[in-house]
Amino acid sequence: MKTMTAVTMTLVALWQAAAAAAQNCTPCIDPAVPDLAIVQLAPGRTISEAIAAIESRQSGLTATVLDSVPSREVYLLGFDPPGVFDAVLFDLQYFMPGTPNTLIGDGSDPSRPLMFGDTEYTAEIAEGKTGSGYVSGPALTAAHFQGQYALAQTNVAAAQMRSTGSGVVVAVIDTGIDATHPALGNSVAPGWNVRENSSNTADVGDGADNDGDGVTDEGVGHGTYVAGLIHLVAPDATLVPVVVLDSEGRTSQWLLLKGIYWAIDRGVEVINISIGTTYDADTVEAALDEAKLYGIVPVGAAGNCGCDLREQPAMKSSVLGVVSVNDQDIKADFSNYNRKASLAAPGDSVPDAGDPTGYDTARSMFGPVPGGGYAVWEGTSLSAPLVSGAVALVRAQHPEWAYNDLTWDAIDNLLANTATPIDGINPGFAGSLGAGRIDIGAAVQMGPPQPQLGDLNNDGTIGLSDLALLLADFDQVHSSADLDGSGRVDLADLAMMLSAFN
């Protein structure tokens, strides 16, 4: 809940202005979407009461439900006539002690029917905000992808000796995935297109310059690239595409929120969100907090504006926010940084005019793009999936861990405690690059070898005790007994376990 006083608001405004002036950066400000808001009802209240309360704050204002997540009592509202809604923005978004007009309450007062309220804002891939597109061509191959510096720097080979991510499901909230790309093998499962409300999760463009920037479909390939990096780290994890971005790499808080809730209900263990916005939405935070309660680990990209900036949702307390470093563990010039960041990971690429690819292939990031090719890119969007892959490896080592926030805490602490300290070689950014650069090998080394799929209690055998655990979780969504990663414990999982009895 955004609780503010007039003095607090003034101090925040002054701090933001001073901070922006002190930084050599160009803050990336995401614009609001006019006359739209997201509201989450307080306990016991109805959407009719919420609309009545909002309309009562301003004469002539009409609110209409445009979309909803009924299972969470969250709604997207539209307002008419245009511009009138601005008069009630403060009442919708903030709770001020002693102010009678607020709409935020605990559910006891029908005139204050909202738990949270947010203006609708846009969100975007970090690379889109700074005009950073990928570079592809026939000179780039699977060898570049499989041999890129990020793997050795984070000790992935050592990690994969103990875990490959088997049994873990990772949601990739992005532009979609080219599931036919050979780099992804058979790792991609059916997902959901939140934008179209359909099962079409292909990573394709529409051939139009929808954002008017002179570049067509610049977001296409982002999801496939991100998925490729997760698969490179955790090759046996299942990837589930959740499409919230358009082909320009743009979305909104509402679509992001719906994507997160879909992923939770799908029963994933990890959510990669290489998307960001400068607006801090309470309604999105509520979705992320719910994910944490199920032990689901959301991983976010810190942003590419080179600023000390709390890009959201990466800097939320229930998200592992990832900044980018180069092959020498120096903060990438483009990377945002902040004391709320959790970890650093490779994400930088170095141009080289003497190389036929245009980049120093020994110091650059590579990933798959739609159509079977590969590309070089850079950005915090590429750092986040390395961490998502690491989470998948660790989670696969521990099928016995519960699906609750204690598991989230255990993974967070493990990755932080095994990270390589880098503050000493980044003196200008000490304390703002997270716990250090992730060491995936060191993190995985702290746990046991990944057990056989179906060994739910991690005792080295698959037997009656595991069968009892599966039956106890039958028809559940959040369970290690979902052996095939379908999103529910069912007869197919039972058959898999029985076939592996030893």
Confidence of residue 2 (pLDDT cuts 50, 70, 90): low
Higher pLDDT: 444 or 28? It is 444
Confidence of residue 449 (pLDDT cuts 50, 70, 90): very high
Q: What is the mean pLDDT of the chain?
A: 91
In three state form, how does the secondary structure of 314-325 look? CCCCCCEEEEEE
Rounded CA-CA distance 239/68 in Å is: 26
Residue 242 pLDDT exceeds 90? yes
Residue 31, preceding peptide bond in cis (omega within 30° of 0) = no
Choice among 35-39, 85-89, 227-231, 236-240 with the minimum mean pLDDT? 85-89
Rounded CA-CA distance 479/298 in Å is: 17
Segment 362-398, tens digit of pLDDT: 999 999 999 999 999 999 999 999 999 999 999 999 9
- The CA distances from residue 317 to 15, 297, 342, in Å, are 22, 11, 9
* Cβ atoms 187, 237 nearer than 8 A: yes
CA 31 to chain CA mean position, Å: 20
Crossing angle of helices 282-293 and 405-417, in 10° steps, is 90
Residue 7 pLDDT exceeds 50? no
Contacts of 303 (CB under 8 A, 6+ apart): 28, 126, 129, 276, 309, 311, 314, 335, 336, 380
| CATH number belonging to domain 32-121 | 3.30.70
Q: Residue 63: what are its φ and ψ, rounded to 5°? A: -110, 140
* Cβ atoms 72, 291 nearer than 8 A: no
Residue 5 pLDDT exceeds 50? no
Confidence of residue 88 (pLDDT cuts 50, 70, 90): confident
Confidence of residue 43 (pLDDT cuts 50, 70, 90): very high
CATH 3.30.70 maps onto the chain at 32-121
Crossing angle of helices 253-266 and 282-293, in 10° steps, is 10
Say what the pLDDT of residue 83 is. 86
* Cβ atoms 242, 192 nearer than 8 A: yes
**8-state DSSP, 487:** S
Residue 14 pLDDT exceeds 50? no
Say what the pLDDT of residue 4 is. 36
Rounded CA-CA distance 498/479 in Å is: 17
Confidence of residue 23 (pLDDT cuts 50, 70, 90): very low
Say what the pLDDT of residue 17 is. 32
| CATH number belonging to domain 128-446 | 3.40.50.200
CA-based max dimension of the chain: 72
Average pLDDT over residues 417-429: 98
Average pLDDT over residues 268-296: 96
Rounded CA-CA distance 250/420 in Å is: 34
Return the number of other C-beta atoms located less than 10 Å from residue 198's C-beta. Answer: 10
Say what the pLDDT of residue 6 is. 34
Say what the pLDDT of residue 135 is. 74
Choice among 89-103, 115-129, 149-163, 166-180 with the minimum mean pLDDT? 89-103
Q: CA-CA-CA-CA torsion for 444, 449, 453, 454, nearest 10 degrees?
A: -110
Q: Residue 119: what are its φ and ψ, rounded to 5°? A: -65, 140
Rounded CA-CA distance 417/223 in Å is: 29
Higher pLDDT: 136 or 173? It is 173
Average pLDDT over residues 35-56: 95
Query: Token pair of 36, please?
Result: 């739209």
Residue 357 pLDDT exceeds 50? yes
CATH 3.40.50.200 maps onto the chain at 128-446
Segment 249-263, tens digit of pLDDT: 999 999 999 999 999
Contacts of 252 (CB under 8 A, 6+ apart): 33, 120, 121, 122, 123
Residue 18 pLDDT exceeds 70? no
Segment 89-101, tens digit of pLDDT: 878 876 655 566 6
